[in-house]
Structure 1
Amino acid sequence: MRKFSFNNYKIRTKLLLIYCFCVLIPIIFTDAIILYTVNSNYKENRMRDLTYVTERVKSNLADTVESCILFTYNLYSDEKLDEFLSKQYINHLDYYENYTEMLRYNSLSYNYNYGRLYKIVIYADNDTLINGGSVAKLETAKEEDWYKAFIDSGQDIFLYTYYDGGKKFIPGSGTSRTISVIRKLDYYDRRGMSKILKVDLDYSNMLKDVLNEKIDGEIYIRNNEFILISNIPGTSGIREYEPADTIHTEDATMDMTFQTGFQEWEIIIKAKEVPFWSVLFENQWLIIIVLFNIFMPTILIYFVGKSISKRLKIITSYMGKVEKEQFEVIDINEGEDEIGKLIRRFNLMVLRIKELIEVVFKGQAEKQSLELAKKNAELKAVQSQVNPHFLFNTLESIRMRSLLKKEEETADIIEELAILFRKSMSWGDDY
């Protein structure tokens, strides 16, 4: 099995490994931590904002109820009011004079402008009272549901929530949804006369406090019986209360229980889930940083890798040509880095090899030319020696044959011809 070595991998593969493990993965990991931190901070800030919303709603509602209860204590200990309610009046004029006098020294009219109380009615078991304004005979309330609930509770002060459908048909009578503080006015207990104070809270103002909380979600305020207030679209003081058990706290984002008016109220907030991409789009600078961290190194590594691998491929290609005895110079912009120096060294090597080849080939050609000339000279020398003898021997053979045939004249002619050839060759050598 071949031993592992980075030297066995291509430069491109090595650069890719460096990019993946030293650039891309650390960047992705770092960006993931940043995104997780931003998302966590966003959720923490959102929960903190919801906590502030819950605290404000609680404070506004509790302040409204507790202010109303405090107001009832003022009337509870108001001696002039108790005298007015207990007095027996002779006629209507006597009643109105005392009523006007009572209002001059009583905070009853001031609290109508307080912004938290909608209606104040004092009921007394006094037949000489005239129903109107803030005073009424007790017998007019004994058939009302709120009165029966108050008597059945056995409490001296009672917070009661109910729906008064009759108000829908009476202009200016307020919302049908009613939250009232009811209490006995028995501080002085004159003549054993029953006196009851009923203060209706300003439901519209309480609803406005909830609707003013601009959150992306639902707010519910409930007691043990009803959903008292919510910010659901279409909610108003005219619609009937919904039962308290129609909402559940299992899917609530925030849930707070508090005591007010001797009752336990609960604030439930169901905030909409915010997708992670929404958090990113709200922080566009973060998207820009993440994309920059990923794409900038990627582009840089790509061009650096391309610069290295492209020139190395060219060098490898020209080295292959050298193996095929094709000595060509690399004609590119080689650059000033180490690979550029390598290309210049390669070009110098190729030029040197071509020069050496030319020198060697020229020397060999000259040597071969000299050897060939020498051999030609030797051959000519041999030829110059062999050819005359062959010619003279031939002529001599012809002359002898002519003598044998008794052709003496022919033999003489051949002899003269041989002498002539011998003389001409002697002249050529001398020349």
Structure 2
Amino acid sequence: MFFIRIMNDMKMKKKLAITFISAAVLPLMLSGLFLTAKLRAIVIQDAFLQVSGNVERVRKRTEELMKVPLDISYRLTTDNKMKLVAGRQYNSNLEVIQAYRGYTDIRDYLQLYKEISGIRVYTVNPGALNNWEFIQPDDDILSQDWYKEAIARKGLAGWNLIKDERVNEEYLSLIRSFSLDPPGRTGVLVINVDKHRLSSILDQESFQTFIVDDRNRIVASNDAALFGKNLFEIHTDENVLSQQTGSYDGIVNGHASKVVIANLNPENSWNGLRIISIFTVSDITRDANQVIRLGIIVISASLIFAVLLIYASASLLSRRLYRLSNHMSKVGSGSLETYLHIDGKDEIGLLSRRFNSLVRSISQLIQEVQETNRQKSLVEQRQNEIKFKMLASQINPHFLFNALESIRMESHIRKQDDIAHAVWLLSSLLRSSLEAGNGKITLRKELERVRCYLEIQKFRYEDRLEYRFKVEPHLEELPIPPLIIQPLVENAIIHGLDNRAEGAYIEVEVMSVSEGIRIKVSDNGAGFPAGRLSLMQEELSASVDEQEGQRIGLRNVNDRLVLLYGTTSCLQIESEPGNGTSVTFFIPGGVSRC
């Protein structure tokens, strides 16, 4: 009963799809997966056996090639004549040349054995010369790890990728130290393995194969571009970097791969080489995959034909329901302009017509709400614009009268012509104030206006007034409302200097902070009592609508900041009796907004 209820709740297309998948698709898929897995396993196993045989063959041929430099190294390190030429003390260059010319064994070995491409003998002998056979090691060579290791191994052979100074190329080289007379002196013999002979061993390999030294540097490869590179550079698996022998599954260059490694340790050597062969599973199974793909295409074509027949049969029954469902989805995503037309007078046709009527009603309601919100937003915008223009247009002129009175009194007392300078400052200040509109001005112009005002006040108070500007240079072109800093400076003088016999110090600081731009005006005046400070903060926090027509100064500045930037930019007053006052506000982001 439970199964029947579930089937009855399903849509027609889903019922047909489940039946078809259960009867045809699943059996075909399971059979195909089983046969594919078997075929891939057989192909990979055959490739693995082939690669293992190839790696063993490469190991044997490489071992035969390395026997030649090993044999030559035994002969040379036991050759007393070579040791005499390398270690004797020479009195002149002529003696060195004659000794080198008389010793021909190294040249004979190079001509006789094509498996090697160079022989070098390094000995510290101040009287000797360098002829690319006998070489005086410089500090760079003496500091090389291979040279130090050869000395430390005391006669054992080593194999490393070393640069030949004569041709400036790297070779797989045999390294071996030998003793010189007097006892305690040591030389190092280096024999280069011929690159072409070594590479020819790998040329016939169909899979990626290379030979690496104990530092994981590639000394030979069937891909010439890999010579000299480290295994780290070709994105190999960790097993390839660390394991000495065996076979592993790994990821190489992002591909699933099989890795076969054989170890080669030549006789009497402190280190050896590794032969590594890598083949990707995708390359090995390419042919098998083609057969599999062909089978999949044939089966898929048959399944598609059957699916199309089932789909056509189900569509005759469910097409009209799907149209209604799709229309509902469009309306749900916000598209209210679509119209659904379904023929017929049955329940589906009736449902579609009623649904269209409901959509039209919702669309009309949304348009009415949007129009109401638009009008409300426009009214609020106009109100804020009117409030801002009224606030921005208020300019307190009483500081100009105070300045004129100061100039008049000073002129009467001192009778000096330099009062003309104060008059000029005042006229500049008056001109800039009259030119200020409701737009923005740069911080530099606002600070020039403040500086004029302070110079006029300094003319009045002389040494009793000192001021300082601390402004980050890149902020001078910052757009700000006009007359936004000057009222704060004026307030600092009125409530600071006038109540302080020893004078006042005023500082204007503009700097970047995380919130945007911080502007701070501070003084060392008498400060405000706690009660007066609380009253001022309450007045500043009151609504703009509650502002009186004659209120100016701090309230005017605060209200304009709130209208322009929001409540986060309102004035912040800090004051202690006897310790001065600081007024701070922020411009968010450093860019004013309209």
Q: TM-score, normalised by structure 2?
A: 0.34
The structure with more radius of gyration: 1
Greater length-normalized contact order (CA 8 Å, ≥ 6 residues apart): 1
Q: TM-score, normalised by structure 1?
A: 0.46
